[in-house]
Amino acid sequence: MKGAALGVLTGVLAGFCVACGAEDDTMVTVYAAASLSEAFEELAQQFEATHPEVDVRLSFAGSARLAAQITAGARADVFASADTVTMDRVVHAGRTADHPLVFARNRLALAVPAHNPADVSGLADLTDDSLVVAVCAPEVPCGALAEAVLDDAGLAVDADTEETSVRAVLTKVALGEADAGLVYATDIAAGGNRVAEVSLGPSGFRTDYPIAPVSDQSRAADFVDFVTGPAGADILRRHGFETP
């Protein structure tokens, strides 16, 4: 992006950066779920290529954290969440400028470090107390989905760490600090050869990703239209997302 993209924000740093909203129609500030990082970096680049007068500033974090920042008054132009429940909080707070649209879908997946040193073979193994298991916190979309998957399987898993974003879980697994973690399928793809996927079988546990303009700035609506349009869908599918 022509404007320096903001990386995954954590802790106090996120609080300092969230007020960097757009003041005119030459900049669009986009708050997006951490699992959208690579896809939205490409989307922003392509949007800027067709709108050379516009800078797209990207801020990535867990959806729940971003929603809390927006409802508290942080200046953003667009919000893309990893589930509809979190988006609904922003809608109910009166902080969206138009109705959210579902633009992508993802599925939960079980990630292990490359070569699977703990020999994890499925969800049931996560009940083994000798394993270090990482999940998202329950208020984060990937954490809520993980709870649903484990409940459906009748498994009681005492996770060793609950992270504020799905990329934090992926990092724990990739570094070998966790033997397994529940993330999204697209995160495993983004992890490259640092992680591997253990099949959960024909799981129907998927999450819808909605997007909405937060400000009434015209470029915010243009960016949403681009993401939800054919060009945006092509980019999202290349990054492993399903599209409506």
Cα dihedral angle (92, 96, 86, 228), rounded to 10 degrees?
140
Q: Cα–Cα distance between 166 and 38 in angstroms, integer?
A: 13
For residue 8, name the pLDDT band (cuts at 50, 70, 90). very low
| In this structure, CATH architecture of domain 11-104+208-238 | 3-Layer(aba) Sandwich (3.40)
pLDDT digits (tens, 9 = 90+) for 71-130: 999 999 999 999 999 999 999 999 999 999 999 999 999 999 999 999 999 999 999 999
Residue 5's contacts (CB-CB under 8 Å, 6 or more residues apart) are: 41, 44, 56, 57, 58
Superfamily (CATH) of domain 107-198: Periplasmic binding protein-like II (3.40.190.10)
The pLDDT of residue 200: 85
The contacts of residue 53 (CB under 8 Å, 6+ apart) are 26
Q: Is the pLDDT of residue 5 over 50?
A: no
Confidence of residue 16 (pLDDT cuts 50, 70, 90): very low
Q: What is the pTM of this model?
A: 0.86
CATH code 3.40.190.10 region(s) in the chain = 11-104+208-238, 107-198
Confidence of residue 13 (pLDDT cuts 50, 70, 90): very low
